[in-house]
Structure 1
Amino acid sequence: MNISIWSDIRCPFCYIGKRKFEAALSKFPHKDAITFEWKSFELDPTLETNTNINAINHFIESKGVDADDASEMFNNVTEMASEVGLNFNLNNAVVANSLNAHRLLHFAKTLNRSNELKEALLKAHLEEGKNIDDLEVLIEIASTVGIDKNDAKTVLTSEQYTYDVRQDQMEARNLGINAVPFFVINNKYGISGAQPESVFAKNLEKIWEETNKSPLKMAEVSNDNTCDINGNCN
C-alpha cells in the first residue's frame, strides 16, 4: 500500500498531521508493507522571504485579520500541536519561501532521507524559528540527517529539482488538491487535513482490507463433484 502526502514546510497543520499519521501507522499491524512519500505543495509560491517582520504580523497584514483574532488562531494551533508533543513557536517563525526546502527534499528522496529531512525542516521552521530559505541554514539542516554538505550546496546553488517540485504541484492540481496536508492512498483514496489518529487508523485498516481481500472461504461439503481446468473430474 502506497501513500503520497502533499504538504508544505510552512504549514503548521502539516506537522500536526504528520504526527497523527505516524501515530496511527506505528500501531498498524501491516505497517511494514506500507510505503509513503512526501510531495511538494507551496502554500504561496510568490511569497518573498522577509526576516524583518514576524509571522503573526505578516499573517495580520496578508490575511487582513484583526490582531486579537490572529493571536487566538496562533494560540489554538499551538495548543493542538502540544497535544501531539510538538512545541510550536509560531510568533518567531521566519517569513520564508519554501521552494529551496522542497528542492532539497527531492534530493533527499534520492538518498532515502526525505522523511528525516522533512521532520528536521518542519521542526526548524515551526519550533526553532530558523530561516528555511537561507542556503547555509538548509545545508546545516541537511547535514544533521546524513546529507553531505557539499552535495546539498550543489543542489541549492543550482535549479536542480525545481521541475520535480512543479510536477508535484501540477499533480496536486490535477487531483483537485487545494489544501494541505493531503494524503492519497493507492492513488485512489484521499484524506484531507490533520485528522485525528483514529481516522487515519480506521482508513488504513479499511483500505488494507479492500486492497487485500481474502480468497473465498470454502464451506464444509461432503464431496467436491467438480472438474478442474485440466479436465480432471471427481
Structure 2
Amino acid sequence: MKSVTIDVFMDTVCPWCRMGDASLRTALNELPEGVNATVRYHAYQLNPGIRKEGEDYRKVMIGRLGGEAQFEARMKQYNQTGARFGLNYNMDLVKLTPNTELSHQLIAITPEHLQSNLILNLYTAYFEQGLDIGNVDTLAEIAQASGVAYDREDLKTRLVKGEGLDKVEEGQRDAQQLGIRGVPFYVINEKYALSGLQSPSDLVHAFMQD
C-alpha cells in the first residue's frame, strides 16, 4: 500500500482554486489501486485586508487587473477554463468580494471527512449562486447543507467567537514560510511543491513520483 499526503493551500473565493479542486478530485479517482491519498486543506487569503462586510467585486477586480477590458476578459477566461473542468461560473451574480476568514474558520472546525464536500459547496455558493460567503448566516446554511452536524445558532456563535482562527493564521504563516504567492498550491508528501492550476494527469504523476 502506497500512501501520499497532499497539502492544499487555497482560498474560497479563488476561481483557479475551484478548478484546481475539480482537477484534484479527478486525479484522486484516477490513482492506481492500492494508493491511499490524504488531503489536508490550508487557508490562504488572497484578500486579507478586505473589510469584514466585504467590498464591491467589480471595483476590487478592476483595480487589481487594471481596467474594464481586462476585467471582462478575465470573466470570460473563468467561464472558458472552468468549462474544461465541468464547472459553471455565473460571474454576473458575484457582486461582493467577501473577507474569507470566517469561511476558512468553518473549514478548520469541520471534521476532516466532511471538509471536501463543504469546500465544494462553498465554491458553488459563491461562483454559481453569488452568495456572500463572508456572512455568518450564509455559512451556517452551507454548513448544514453539507452535512456538517452543528446546530446553526451554535455554529454561528463559534465562528463569531473566533473558533478555528488559529488554524487559519497557521495556514497563512505556513504559506509565507513556503514563499507561496498564489493559489492553488500543493505540497506532496512534504517534499514536492506544485504551484497553480494543474491537469489531473499532472497531479497523478506528481503524486506517484516517490
TM-score (norm 1): 0.82
- Structure number with the bigger relative contact order (C-alpha 8 A, sep ≥ 6) is 2
Matched, 1:81 2:82: yes
Give 5+ residue unaligned stretches, structure 2: none
Matches within 5 A, 1:173-212: 173-206=176-209, 210=210
**Structure 1 counterpart of 2:147:** 146
- Cα pair distance change 1:49/1:95, threshold 3 Å: farther
**Structure 2 counterpart of 1:33:** 36
Please give the secondary structure, in 2, of the residue aligned with 1:58.
helix
Matched, 1:114 2:115: yes
What is the letter of the counterpart of residue 81 of structure 1? G
**Structure 1 counterpart of 2:129:** 128
Shift in Å at residue 193 of structure 1? 0.8
Please give the secondary structure, in 2, of the residue aligned with 1:5.
strand
What is the letter of the counterpart of residue 71 of structure 1? E
Shift in Å at residue 52 of structure 1? 7.2
Q: Please give the alpha-carbon distance, in whole angstroms, between the structure 1 residues aligned to 2:55 and 2:178.
A: 37
Larger radius of gyration: 1
Please give the secondary structure, in 2, of the residue aligned with 1:139.
helix
Q: Please give the alpha-carbon distance, in whole angstroms, between the structure 2 residues aligned to 1:25 and 1:121.
A: 20
TM-score (norm 2): 0.90
**Structure 1 counterpart of 2:69:** 68
Q: Please give the alpha-carbon distance, in whole angstroms, between the structure 1 residues aligned to 2:176 and 2:54.
A: 30
Q: Do 2:75 and 2:91's aligned partners in 1 also have CA atoms closer than 8 Å?
A: yes
> Following superposition, which runs of at least 4 residues in structure 1 exceed 3 angstroms of deviation?
49-53
CA RMSD of aligned residues (A): 1.7
Shift in Å at residue 159 of structure 1? 1.2
- Cα pair distance change 1:51/1:175, threshold 3 Å: closer
Shift in Å at residue 160 of structure 1? 1.0
What is the letter of the counterpart of residue 164 of structure 1? K
- Cα pair distance change 1:193/1:40, threshold 3 Å: same
Q: Please give the alpha-carbon distance, in whole angstroms, between the structure 2 residues aligned to 1:28 and 1:111.
A: 21
Q: Do 2:17 and 2:183's aligned partners in 1 also have CA atoms closer than 8 Å?
A: yes
* Aligned sequence identity (%): 26
**Structure 1 counterpart of 2:173:** 170
Number of positions where the alignment pairs a residue of Structure 1 with one of Structure 2: 204
